[in-house]
Amino acid sequence: MSELHARIAGIGRYLPDNVVTNDDLAKIVDTNDEWIRERTGIATRRIEEDPEKGAAYMAAEAARVAIDRSGFAPEEIDTVILSTATPDRFLPSTACDTQAILGLPNAMALDLTAACSGWLYGLTMGEGMIASGRSKATLVVATEKMSGIVDWTDRATCVLFGDGAGAVVLAPANGDGTGIVSSFHCSDGNLGELLWRPAGGNICPMTPQTLENRDHLLKMNGREIFKSAVRSMAQACDEALSRAGMTGEDVDLLVPHQANIRIIQATAKYAGIPMEKVYVNVDRYGNMSSASIPVALDEALEDGSIQPGMRVLAPTFGAGLTWGAVVLQF
């Protein structure tokens, strides 16, 4: 194993209190609990009802826990990397809004957009900041208010997503073998329109017509996304494990992006990891985009699914298309 540069010093999550069941959704779209469970594995999801509690609010709630657990004071956090596909506004960045809420006076702050892969992308960027010596304490946050961009008239997509945030504080590795072991990331912009929001930018600004067509909301080609996700997450697992000098047999726990139980099962099968060694919470939270992996890691640490010394593989896939994986030693 090569020298480790960065470790997770603290981790935290935020989940809205409001639980929306499949039966609740059946009241607004033509669907039912059996249909949703069979195709996605999802039973409930968290939806933030308060319009004043946006992406920055959720990010700050998760980050406070991570910072407190890290042992760093707020003024010692020198970098904030924030992943979101659901910013509260286009300018300024959600990262800067989060910095202001938290009171981090000495931090540079920036947003990162890589959809569901964003937190893993941010984790690797943060590792680079630590390894270069330019950062001593990097906050990497993923925050997603997916309920704000979902088309609640589209039964194929509105059942999939939930709201939430997860955060870690990265610090220099301390020589005990814990930290980020390896990572792999890739993307293919040629497939961007498989999962996208057609309107709202410079090329297709919002107009009465685009609003009427609901083109400012999420659109997805589910069949093609499924095939691309399975193929890309398999590649990501292979590459990250190879770079770590490991195989699937060396993995103690698989913590994948929580998009769909069928994708999770296919990824585990390809990696040669039995489902009893896979952490799953998509049934309770749905797809929280880039927040899904940090939330799952925090839960797994809290409930004892991750113990000291365990090796964790975390693969992801998202719009862009983007994908990747990291290997973590706890």
Average pLDDT, the chain: 97
> Looking at the structure, do residues 41 and 79 belong to the same domain, yes or no?
yes
For residue 69, the model assigns a pLDDT of 98
Domain that holds residue 322: 180-329
* CA gap 233, 116 in Å, rounded: 12
Verify whether residue 287 is a known catalytic residue: yes
Same domain, 278 and 153: no
Domains in the chain: how many in total? 2
Identify whether residues 139 and 197 lie together within a single domain: no
- Alpha-helical (H) ranges within the chain are 22-25, 33-40, 55-70, 94-102, 118-131, 155-158, 208-213, 222-244, 261-271, 282-285, 292-302
- Alpha-carbon distance of 15 to 47, in angstroms, equals 8
Domain boundary among 131, 147, 176: 176
Nearest Cα to Cα of residue 166 among 187, 142, 134: 142
Alpha carbon distance 160, 132 (integer Å) = 39
CA 92 to chain centre: 22
In this structure, are 193 and 164 located in the same domain? Answer: no
pLDDT at 1 over 60: no
pLDDT at 294: 98
| Cβ 132 vs Cβ 108: under 8 Å | no
In a domain, 56, yes or no: yes
Percent of the chain clearing pLDDT 90 (strictly above): 99
CATH number of the domain bearing residue 14? 3.40.47.10
Going by the DSSP 8-state scheme, the letter that residue 224 receives in this structure is H
Q: Looking at the structure, tell me whether residues 85 and 140 fall in a common domain.
A: yes
Q: Which residue in 96, 185, 257, 260 is the catalytic one?
A: 257
Q: Pick the closest to residue 322 from 224, 187, 205 (CA basis).
A: 187
Indicate if 24 and 166 belong to the same structural domain: yes
Q: Is residue 1 part of a domain?
A: no
pLDDT tens-place string over residues 218-259: 999 999 999 999 999 999 999 999 999 999 999 999 999 999
C-alpha count within 13 angstroms, C-beta hemisphere, residue 35: 13
Clarify whether residues 300 and 256 are in a common domain: yes
Instruction: Look at residue 146 in the predicted model and tell me its pLDDT.
Output: 98
- Give the pLDDT of residue 3: 84
Q: What average pLDDT does this structure show over 176-193?
A: 97
For the question of residue 116 being annotated catalytic, the response is yes
Residue of 96, 116, 158, 237 with catalytic role: 116
- What mean pLDDT comes out for the span 317-329? 98
24 and 172 part of one domain: yes
